[in-house]
Structure 1
């Protein structure tokens, strides 16, 4: 039995989500900021961080970090973006969508922060601000046309949903930039050009807002395509990852569905020209309810990769075979969904879940939040600190980092994590609740203070990672994949056998680096491979072409050999970040997202 996917129309999708019984409606918690305002709620402060916070007061970023983040952006666009092709050609479809998301987010940071570079800026300097920001925004607009939407529509559901998040991020920037620097009485992105020049000067919004309907339309169409992965026949709900393999319900596809859905709802709710569509909210709440009840977290509080349905041919419909592989990005994307659900419902449980997840990740990197320092001794060149589950020495790490064996997919993961951590730790302003008749000011103030305090406590860890990543830059300003290389004195004498990780742990399949096995669990007809393979739809390759070994099929696993122009082999680099795929558009995005998160979170908790 296979999952039956719903049709793509919004009306049918809505009915399919609600048909199983009573609609999934949100009931405010006792201490929701839009609850009744009971005495218990007023007296119960939120508690997202149960440790002293006295060690976290001196980790704020200086404007030098903003400069470093901008430099990372400049290198990304100068080295990897091609104006003639309107894309980052060395990226693959989904990593290009992530790149666009991170660049759009950085534009929001720049439009909020450029005045801090020169507080006494003149009007001409303000014009230079606009020129800088708009130059990068024009490249985002170019990517709107350069994005291979035809190919992505035939890919897996997670690939499709990355597109949604990317264009929502672009819309968020356009609105923010317009509101900060081009305030008008009313904003209409569909406004026509007035015939009178004085009226035009007084009423037209920023030119970038005119692209919002196009970004909005693409987000809508790709959300509808992605939502076809929602299935209620297997495991009582949840998103299917890839319709061309055996059913697999993984963390990333479900997290993307939740975050994309609530982001779509919030976008339309904020748009004066379109009413917020409850189908998006319904999808986000239903998706979150399924995910948190799916048993997809391990004993360390981290999301494992997903669930297979063992015994499907015999009639089993339960998610009963859990893949224990842990990746960094599976801990990040949900943070945007949790933050969005808080904004809509006022329930602090979403924030509490998010902070629990962040703290689980920090602990799994070997960082002591209370002491604000690594758990293990670092700086011993001859040995790696202990692997703690998602890193070592307090530095976030995927299992492929230390050995230099990351695929193009995995090289994107840590940047995704910090992009969504940044979104989660934005300061709470309460604007979505203040007009509500039951808005509870005391409860909101308590939640706001606790959220700020917790995010401030994370700054030492974020700074530790940022400083480590800065050390991986080469002479051209390109970031490496393994931020923790300095922990071993930048030695390359690390292999999968010597990185301290059990790569053969039970029930783990590192398919993001090595591809899916060809078996009854994953599928015998097709196989998913990481990277830019063009063997068929969504990197699927027919079984008869898959008789090669993993090392044969993925050149990303091989160390590059540097040759002179004459073809003679040159000495290998001693830089551990030159191994494998080396420095790429994806590793540059990782450095940018991390530096941006350090700057933004620092600004958020210092105000």
Structure 2
């Protein structure tokens, strides 16, 4: 920690000079605020719930308390535009602090586990570690091993950064051995797919860090990064779990789609299908390949066309990067999801579909009972999938769909930025539709996914979120960050991937730039929930003690200590949104 703080101090001058170039373009919104009271009707996330929907009652907007007032100070509503000075914030310090707090307080190195997490949330936390290390890796240009000359500032900085990256990567490797992969393969298909995304994120980080900061082995005097030795292991786990998840696709029920849990009544939900899209296209674009024949599974399903061999035999047709099957899976899954009728009137994905009467009549195949609950992560995971589908096909409608979903989410938090409608869609056909949508007036209170421009789960205000619900917001920001990664202007693999024209690349970047103030607004709200130990709270919409009359003197006034309180899941979500702020501001400023 101390070494990284020294790096942050050395970088401060560089940050100030470069970030001031974009400071005038970033605004935060302050003004009146509104409060959602705790309600006994607030739902907790239970995927097996059928057709449950609860509306949070609208309450009067509270006036902003004056200094010294005993009234609860809720996060500012976006009604004014004070300038946000990036020079006052060391974002890298906040990013590293969020990471170190999560790893030091919640991760047991000797066990290789997040001891209070459940299997799927642990996989998500490990994904955040790899993604954050990628951000730290890109924050400074250097080549290793370097001279480490104390008179050369860059060498000293590089040594410090490299040490921190190696520290946390070592923890990722212990998690690889601590992950209960045998138990996860008996869980629901969405749990399995989180594992796929996590290890693909790790392999991408290894490849990018090694390429950016090390010379290759085949160069004279070349020295590859030691972490490359883990690529086969990480790739193998991603491949094994992806092939297991493929068995969840079924064409008979509901005309297609992934089944959530094979051991329960059929449920075709948004998250499992979005994960399958994102995992499939990530396997196509980023899977390093795997020549390990050990399946970890037992006999393959002989009914599957690619499972025609016993577990102790090698698949001679083992798939690798750019395999057409991965792309076909992603395309089929998105076509089904888009046509499934799983979005509500706000353009947000609801939780999923049941088949009415299936318990007593297995001949029924139509998805006709829709679970109307809306969760933040159901709007996020798809974004990285759409970004990948564009790169694999070159079809701009995938980007259009992604930007439309992002804008729907931002509006559903109560954020109204007039600039949000200034960027035209990537094709002319949607211009008239988009213009009509932008005329919708501002809802008075709860807007579908939050209030005052802050992304919120419905269970946040009441403090009733489970481990699942406490993880969702971070997932959204992680995948939003992936979606807004700059489009390549040259194909990564000619004939297999596509590049953007200058016009498309600029339109994509301009749209993502318009999301930056909203991302910063949410990150700053999350940062204000940290306690004295640096731990993030779950409800970013409240930052001050709850001094309502319902509390007795001496009771804990921190609303984020209610329910499960501060957990590894809330810490991971804080880490993800702070990383999103760093990446959005870094991309807007070109260089830091």
Q: TM-score, normalised by structure 1?
A: 0.70
The verdict on how the C-alpha distance between 1:275 and 1:462 changes in structure 2, with shifts beyond 3 A counting, is closer
Where do residues 382-393 of structure 1 align in structure 2 (5 Å cutoff)? 386-393=445-452
The verdict on how the C-alpha distance between 1:233 and 1:436 changes in structure 2, with shifts beyond 3 A counting, is closer
1:179 alignment partner in structure 2: 211
Deviation at 1:80, TM superposition (A): 0.6
1:402 alignment partner in structure 2: 461
Where do residues 149-168 of structure 1 align in structure 2 (5 Å cutoff)? 149-168=181-200
Task: Give the counterpart of 1:583 among 566, 569, 590.
Answer: 566
Task: Give the counterpart of 1:361 among 386, 401, 409.
Answer: 409
Task: Tell me the distance in 1 between the aligned counterparts of 2:151 and 2:521.
Answer: 28
Deviation at 1:185, TM superposition (A): 6.5
Task: Give the counterpart of 2:275 among 249, 256, 261.
Answer: 256
Task: Give the counterpart of 1:424 among 468, 480, 483.
Answer: 483
Deviation at 1:124, TM superposition (A): 3.7
2:338 alignment partner in structure 1: 292
Cα shift readout 1:419-457 (whole Å, capped 9, x = no counterpart): 000000111123326845997x8x611110011100100
Q: In the alignment, is the contact (CA less than 8 A) between 1:75 and 1:478 conserved in 2?
A: yes
Task: Tell me the distance in 2 between the aligned counterparts of 1:278 and 1:437.
Answer: 9
2:322 alignment partner in structure 1: 276
Residue 113 in structure 1 maps to residue 112 in structure 2: no
Task: Tell me the distance in 2 between the aligned counterparts of 1:124 and 1:55.
Answer: 33
Q: In the alignment, is the contact (CA less than 8 A) between 1:168 and 1:216 conserved in 2?
A: yes
2:387 alignment partner in structure 1: 339
Unaligned runs of 5+ in 1: 1-53, 188-198, 379-383, 496-558, 560-568
The 10-residue stretch of structure 1 (119-128 or 251-260) with the greater mean CA deviation from structure 2:
119-128
1:452 alignment partner in structure 2: 509
1:484 alignment partner in structure 2: 541
1:139 alignment partner in structure 2: 171
Q: In the alignment, is the contact (CA less than 8 A) between 1:171 and 1:212 conserved in 2?
A: yes
1:97 alignment partner in structure 2: 123
2:232 alignment partner in structure 1: 213
2:8 alignment partner in structure 1: none
Deviation at 1:271, TM superposition (A): 9.8
Cα shift readout 1:452-487 (whole Å, capped 9, x = no counterpart): 10010001111111111111000000000000004x
Task: Give the counterpart of 1:88 among 83, 107, 114.
Answer: 114
The verdict on how the C-alpha distance between 1:431 and 1:209 changes in structure 2, with shifts beyond 3 A counting, is farther
The verdict on how the C-alpha distance between 1:327 and 1:437 changes in structure 2, with shifts beyond 3 A counting, is closer
Task: Give the counterpart of 2:372 among 319, 324, 328.
Answer: 324
Task: Tell me the distance in 2 between the aligned counterparts of 1:470 and 1:494.
Answer: 27
1:573 alignment partner in structure 2: 556
2:95 alignment partner in structure 1: 69
The verdict on how the C-alpha distance between 1:172 and 1:438 changes in structure 2, with shifts beyond 3 A counting, is closer
Residue 466 in structure 1 maps to residue 523 in structure 2: yes
Q: Give the 3-state SS of the residue equivalent to 2:268 in structure 1.
A: strand
Residue 604 in structure 1 maps to residue 587 in structure 2: yes
Deviation at 1:203, TM superposition (A): 3.5
Q: In the alignment, is the contact (CA less than 8 A) between 2:189 and 2:272 conserved in 1?
A: yes
Q: Give the 3-state SS of the residue equivalent to 2:113 in structure 1.
A: coil
The 10-residue stretch of structure 1 (261-270 or 207-216) with the greater mean CA deviation from structure 2:
261-270
Task: Tell me the distance in 2 between the aligned counterparts of 1:357 and 1:311.
Answer: 32
Task: Tell me the distance in 2 between the aligned counterparts of 1:157 and 1:494.
Answer: 45
Cα shift readout 1:296-328 (whole Å, capped 9, x = no counterpart): 000100000000011334432111111100000
Deviation at 1:352, TM superposition (A): 0.7
Q: In the alignment, is the contact (CA less than 8 A) between 2:344 and 2:350 conserved in 1?
A: yes
The verdict on how the C-alpha distance between 1:306 and 1:455 changes in structure 2, with shifts beyond 3 A counting, is same
The verdict on how the C-alpha distance between 1:224 and 1:59 changes in structure 2, with shifts beyond 3 A counting, is farther
Unaligned runs of 5+ in 2: 1-23, 28-82, 143-149, 292-318, 422-438
Task: Give the counterpart of 1:231 among 219, 243, 250.
Answer: 250
Q: In the alignment, is the contact (CA less than 8 A) between 2:271 and 2:381 conserved in 1?
A: yes
Deviation at 1:181, TM superposition (A): 0.5
Deviation at 1:369, TM superposition (A): 2.6
Q: Give the 3-state SS of the residue equivalent to 2:509 in structure 1.
A: helix
Q: In the alignment, is the contact (CA less than 8 A) between 1:339 and 1:424 conserved in 2?
A: yes
Task: Tell me the distance in 2 between the aligned counterparts of 1:444 and 1:494.
Answer: 59
Task: Tell me the distance in 1 between the aligned counterparts of 2:223 and 2:320.
Answer: 19
- The two structures, once aligned, show a CA RMSD in angstroms of 3.1
Cα shift readout 1:114-162 (whole Å, capped 9, x = no counterpart): 469x997332432222111000000000000000011101110000000
Task: Tell me the distance in 2 between the aligned counterparts of 1:606 and 1:203.
Answer: 33
Residue 308 in structure 1 maps to residue 340 in structure 2: no
1:17 alignment partner in structure 2: none
2:265 alignment partner in structure 1: 246
State the aligned residue count.
Answer: 457
Deviation at 1:571, TM superposition (A): 3.4
The 10-residue stretch of structure 1 (122-131 or 85-94) with the greater mean CA deviation from structure 2:
122-131
Q: Give the 3-state SS of the residue equivalent to 1:367 in structure 2.
A: coil
Cα shift readout 1:356-395 (whole Å, capped 9, x = no counterpart): 000000000000131679x9xx9xxxxx971100000000
Deviation at 1:492, TM superposition (A): 6.3
Task: Tell me the distance in 2 between the aligned counterparts of 1:134 and 1:163.
Answer: 22
